[in-house]
Amino acid sequence: MNIDNNAIHALINRAQSTKSSARADESASFATALAENTQEANRNTTVKPLEKYDFSNMTPIEFRDTINELISAGQLTLDNTSPLLGMMPSPLSKVHFDGAMPASAYQAVNFFAKIQEGIDGALSRNEKKSAEGLHQAANALRRIQGQVRINSQT
């Protein structure tokens, strides 16, 4: 049997061109599938705006949770925040205890104004240490006011 070298080269070239076109088809279909999946993922991804601390417009429950986050993160200390405990809601703060939080716990408050009222009240009673503690707490909150939240839970 006689094998023609030209026929062998033709078969090899055809096999190689078939493989390369199959690879091109595979990579083209992969690129198409990747692009489609990326576009789908981008459509399904919602970008949330950065949430910032705003103690001038916060519910007492949010205030309590935020203070706890900041203490856990090391941005506030218990010394800074202990004068604020009276401003944090508790089910026990209701006149008629039923185990639920008071309705006022869900209404936004300006905590800077509330702290200032506390300072004014303490000074009117000549409680200089209480006023100083509230003043330090207000300064600590002012330092954090407007910063991006560390644990955005929304």
Q: What is the rounded distance in angstroms from the CA atom of residue 112 to the CA atom of residue 81?
A: 13
> What secondary structure does DSSP assign to 25-89, as a single string?
HHHHHHHHHHHHHHHHHHHH--PPPPPB--TTSB-HHHHHHHHHHHHHTTSS-HHHHGGGGGGS-
What does each of the 154 residues of the chain score in pLDDT, given as a tens digit? 566 666 655 656 665 555 555 555 666 677 777 677 666 655 655 555 678 889 999 888 888 889 999 999 899 898 888 888 888 766 555 555 666 666 666 788 899 999 999 999 999 999 999 999 999 999 999 999 888 876 654 4
DSSP secondary structure letter of residue 125 = T
Supply 139's token pair: 């300064």
CA angle 142, 55, 70 (to 5 degrees): 75
Q: Which residues contact 95 (CB under 8 A, 6 or more apart)?
A: none
- Could you count the other beta carbons within 10 Å of the beta carbon of residue 58? 17
pLDDT of amino acid 149: 79
Name residues whose C-beta falls within 8 Å of residue 80's C-beta, 6 or more positions apart in sequence.
136, 137, 140
Q: What is the pLDDT of residue 154?
A: 43
